[in-house]
Structure 1
Amino acid sequence: MSIPVWNDPKIKAGTMIRAALWLIQEVGEGGTFTKERLRDAFPGVSQADRRLRDLRAYSWQILTNTEDATLQAEDQRFIKAGVPVWDPVARRTAAPQKAVSAKETQAVLARDDYMCTVCGISASEPYFDDSNQTGVLSVTRRETVLPDGATETLLVTECKRCRAGLGGSPSRADEVLQSIEDLTPDDRRRLTRWMERGRRGTTALDRAWTGYRRLPGDAQDEVRAALEG
């Protein structure tokens, strides 16, 4: 299916679809734009920014300054296109499921200790490898293959970056179980203790490294200087 031109007067499409085409054809992946520029592109459309946000439910990645500290308050960055929403078949196939309720969200966040289950980041915490971005958590549905091979859709806490990186691939409880069964008896007992405590055990070296990494840069320099002296 050919991609329509976003401002073609003959196109029969809603604002969300036209906004998706506008992002691709006018902004480009990696490019930034403002709400004013969006309003100028869609004059007379009172909720163009809301229709743009609707694209996130179709795996379109659009960041604001709360997620990317390099952006100004009025800026947004178009990271990556998702489902080709101008294709009716693709759009219907990827139609968002019923929203997770507030009660379900709070229960899952509490269960997962208010951390991303993939990378362990907390809400608003800077990423270790990119301090300009902070963790944005959400509770999402993920296809999961259970140990008996059955597939279910389960709720899980993920940050925006990890959710995008997983690309919709299912979680594999069957593979996790197999990897555990392949452990030595000692390692299996250690893992069982971690499961019972709900956290991984750490060595003195782990704790020293974690404490060092949490220090401000100047304090890290002081620690290294003390060790070298």
Structure 2
Amino acid sequence: MALPAWNDPEFKAGTMVRAALWLVQVVGEGNTFTKEQVREAFPGISQADRRIRDLRDYSWVLFTNSDDARLAAEDQRFVKAGVPVWDHAARRAAAPQKAISNKEKQAVLARDDYMCSICGISGGEAYLDDSNQTAVLSVTRRETVLPDGREQTLLVTECKRCRAGSSGQPARADEIVADILDLDPGERRRLLRWIERGRRGSTPLDRAWNSYRRLPADARDEVRAALEE
């Protein structure tokens, strides 16, 4: 089914819907756009940039320079399209739920030790594979299947990169329990100790690697040279 053209005067839709179509049809996933381009595309609409930000409530992923240091202050990157908001039924089904309060956000962030629950990065920390990007944490809703099969929407801390790469599938606590029960008794006891401590037990090799990784790049070069002698 062909998408309506974003600038078709016969297409009666709000600015957010037209902006979503503009991103898909003009900008394209993975590409950048500027606030000036938004103003030119939607002349006379003072809140067009805000309507684009509203797309994040429908799982659209948009990066600014706070998410990616390579972007200029005027730039944004269209990372990934989300709910097809031009489809009225899809938009209505995905309408944002009640906003998460600041009190709830702070409680979840503290519970998760101010780290992404998926990759473990802390807010403001640079990614190891891309030092130009620093982690921005947010509290999001995650559909979850509990061990007894019940489905609940739970709050979780995620960095924007993990959120962008999410498959959208629910978290499966039931499958995790099944995997744990398949472990041999010794491994299961060890895992339970990790769960009780809230962290994985580390070996001397783990500790050496983590210490090495925290060194500045020049110091890591010196360590490698010393070990190769």
Common fold: TM-score over 0.5: yes
- Aligned-residue offset at 1:113: 0.5
Counterpart residue number, 1:66: 66
Name the amino acid aligned to 2:118.
Answer: V
Counterpart residue number, 1:212: 212
- Partners of 1:208 and 1:5 lie apart in 2 by 57
Name the amino acid aligned to 2:29.
Answer: E
Flag structure 1 segments of 5+ consecutive residues without an equivalent.
none
SS for the counterpart of 1:166 is coil
Structure 2 contact 144–171 (Cα < 8 Å) conserved: yes
- Partners of 2:34 and 2:89 lie apart in 1 by 31
Counterpart residue number, 2:20: 20
- Partners of 2:193 and 2:4 lie apart in 1 by 57
- Partners of 2:27 and 2:155 lie apart in 1 by 34
- Partners of 1:58 and 1:22 lie apart in 2 by 16
Counterpart residue number, 1:186: 186
Counterpart residue number, 1:196: 196
- Aligned-residue offset at 1:182: 1.1
RMSD across aligned positions (CA): 1.1
Residue 155 (structure 1) aligned with residue 151 (structure 2) = no
Counterpart residue number, 1:143: 143
Moved more, 60-69 or 129-138: 129-138
- Aligned-residue offset at 1:100: 0.8
Name the amino acid aligned to 2:186.
Answer: D
Runs of 4+ in 1 over 6 A off after TM superposition: none
Could you tell me the TM-score, scaled by structure 2's length? 0.96
- Partners of 1:65 and 1:97 lie apart in 2 by 27
Counterpart residue number, 2:10: 10
- Partners of 1:163 and 1:36 lie apart in 2 by 27
- Aligned-residue offset at 1:160: 1.3
- Partners of 1:177 and 1:93 lie apart in 2 by 31
SS for the counterpart of 2:33 is strand
Deviations 1:40-88 (A, max 9, x none): 1111111111100001111111111111121111111111211111110
Flag structure 2 segments of 5+ consecutive residues without an equivalent.
none
Name the amino acid aligned to 1:87.
Answer: D
Aligned-pair identity (%): 74
Counterpart residue number, 1:55: 55
